[in-house]
Structure 1
Amino acid sequence: MNHEQIQGFTRRLSQCNRGEMIIIVYDILFTYLADARKALEENDRDSYKYALRKAQDTLSELIGALDFHYDLSKNLYSLYVFCRNELAKVMYEGKSDRLDTTEDILKHLYAGFKEAAKQDTSEPLMSNAQQVYAGMTYGKGQLTENYMEIDTHRGFFA
């Protein structure tokens, strides 16, 4: 994951609500899986292992966020643990077939969460974050986003 992607995810996280947050975490996970696939094709073993470890860490975050008061969480837990174990096997086998299987499972889950997120009308999690305005200026070949500093005390209130 490069610096621009990290900035993009950070910006999205500062503006998201509960439903959008899970989508962003999945997007981060898919970015790490794409990085692992690219490193495997380029035979860059260190980057490959790093990307897979980060993907496993992201899956661990998804597992940690589950609320086991709901039966669905138990099913998601099983799927996440399976995917995390498959990534561990992929790391040492160096083959992309298990990576394909894992990515397919996660894409199906992602589609379901994306539909659910469309129905979430809750407020953004960070109520005092910088506002992002896109389209006010343009850089060479790209849209530039501006951040408006309204209050110096932004972010989560302690």
Structure 2
Amino acid sequence: MQAVQAYLNTKVSTASQKDLVVLIFESAIRYLKQAKEKIKEKDYAQKGILISKALDCIAELDASLNMEKGGDIAKNLHALYFYCQTRLLQANMNLDPKKIDEVISILQQIGTAFAEIKNSSA
């Protein structure tokens, strides 16, 4: 376990800003997929922790937006992130995996776009 943590720490500390954004999307999606499993297992405490971690990821993505330079794109992403957070809070309260799936889909689409931008500018 320590080797995995050391690898992750190195990966994060050596990543570019664009790489970090992609990693945050991947982490949020991974947490949400795990949360869906916890709902199936009726492990509601762990489900709540995983959704909270995904919410933290989305909050980090939202905080990284440059509203001055980003214009309409930043405003639209802010609105999408807010929508995702709202849906996850509803999913958490109602044990609703469909709402989690909706957020996963949104995050995958935005994350894929960021990855494509990152790869095209490399």
More strand as a share of residues? 1
In 2, are the aligned partners of 1:9 and 1:28 still within 8 Å (CA)?
A: no
Match of 2:15 in 1: 16
CA RMSD of the aligned region, Å? 1.8
How does the TM-score come out when normalised to structure 1? 0.70
Match of 1:40 in 2: 39
Aligned residues: 120
Q: What SS class does the counterpart of residue 52 from structure 2 fall into?
A: helix
2-side partners of 1:28 and 1:90: how far apart? 18
Gaps of 5+ in 2: none
- The aligned amino acid for 2:106 is I
Gaps of 5+ in 1: 122-158
The within-5 A match list for 1:88-127 is 88-121=89-122
The within-5 A match list for 1:1-158 is 6-69=5-68, 70-71=70-71, 72-121=73-122
Q: How far is the alpha carbon of 1:120 from its aligned partner?
A: 3.7
2-side partners of 1:96 and 1:28: how far apart? 18
Task: Report Cα offsets for 1:82-116 as digits up to 9, x if no partner.
Answer: 00110000000001111111111111101100001
How does the TM-score come out when normalised to structure 2? 0.89
More helix as a share of residues? 2
- The aligned amino acid for 1:102 is V
